């Protein structure tokens, strides 16, 4: 039986300035990115205008060209507002000029940098198609740290002033290692590769860690780790 290829529909907004034309290098990067989308079976509707949010509903991914955003050193609010309802992906992103952490916290689904090689872009597009976000690990870690300082996470009822070691969970050496990797922003597959174990084994360890630390998710686990510093 012939394999059926799934075509992903995407909208590509060429975000050009009214006063500054794209440099030849930026134009080359934009064209390269569009060619890579085609390679990944993504059918792209390319335009220099951005339609209404309702009109974008038929597209699975919306790519925004950031080649000229470095003029104002910010991402337009009109684009960030779309991120709450659509999978917005920024490309030709200027590292160190544009606020990547703010983009992630606003709901942007992924970022590709102007300096990214073709193989990195292809890997990222594959992640997007698999419904995974695409950001640098440092950006994810910084955003998570900011979230932790701004949310009220329930804390375990432990008296740090006593010497009773039984109040702390009996974490195994492997569990402590996994907590360190989770704290660095690593996902289950990355942890599995690092420790040479299966992703299912990682899940089992994480469930055990959640139970021992009374954590419901990774955010609460990181809050627990930050408070008690018991991962040595």
Write down the pLDDT at residue 195: 92
Half-sphere exposure of 176 (CA within 13 A, CB side): 11
Cβ-based neighbour number of residue 47 at 10 Å: 11
pLDDT for 19 equals: 44
Fold of 165-228: Arc Repressor Mutant, subunit A (1.10.10)
**Domains in the chain: boundaries:** 8-145, 165-228
State the pLDDT at residue 161.
43
Domains 8-145 and 165-228 share a fold: no
Q: One digit per residue, pLDDT tens: the chain, 232 residues?
A: 444 457 788 999 876 544 455 566 777 788 889 899 998 889 889 888 888 888 888 899 999 988 777 555 678 888 888 887 889 999 988 877 778 888 888 888 999 998 899 999 999 999 998 888 899 888 888 887 777 666 554 554 444 444 444 445 688 889 888 888 887 777 888 899 999 999 889 999 988 888 888 888 777 787 777 766 544 5
**Homologous superfamily assigned to 8-145:** Response regulator (3.40.50.2300)
Q: What is the pLDDT of residue 70?
A: 57
Per-residue pLDDT, 5: 57
Nearest 5 degrees, angle CA 126-CA 128-CA 130?
70
């Amino acid at each position: 039986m012939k394999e059926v290829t799934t075509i992903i529909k995407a909208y590509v907004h060429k975000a050009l300035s009214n006063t500054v034309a794209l440099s030849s290098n930026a134009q080359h990067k934009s064209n390269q990115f569009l060619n890579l989308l085609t390679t990944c079976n993504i059918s792209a509707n390319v335009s220099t205008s951005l339609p209404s949010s309702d009109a974008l509903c038929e597209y699975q991914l919306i790519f925004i060209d950031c080649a000229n955003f470095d003029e104002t050193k910010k991402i337009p609010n009109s684009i960030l507002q779309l991120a709450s309802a659509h999978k917005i992906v920024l490309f030709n992103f200027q590292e160190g000029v544009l606020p990547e952490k703010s983009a992630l916290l606003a709901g942007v689904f992924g970022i590709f940098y102007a300096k990214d090689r073709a193989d990195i872009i292809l890997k990222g597009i594959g992640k997007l198609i698999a419904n995974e976000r695409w950001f640098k690990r440092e950006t994810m870690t910084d955003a998570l740290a900011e979230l932790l300082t701004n949310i009220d996470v329930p804390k375990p009822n432990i008296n740090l002033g006593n010497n009773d070691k039984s109040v702390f969970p009996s974490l195994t050496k492997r569990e402590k290692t996994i907590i360190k990797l989770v704290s660095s922003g690593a996902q289950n597959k990355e942890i599995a590769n690092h420790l040479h174990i299966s992703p299912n084994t990682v899940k089992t360890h994480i469930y055990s860690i959640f139970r021992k630390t009374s954590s419901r998710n990774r955010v609460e686990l990181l809050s627990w780790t930050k408070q008690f510093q018991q991962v040595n």
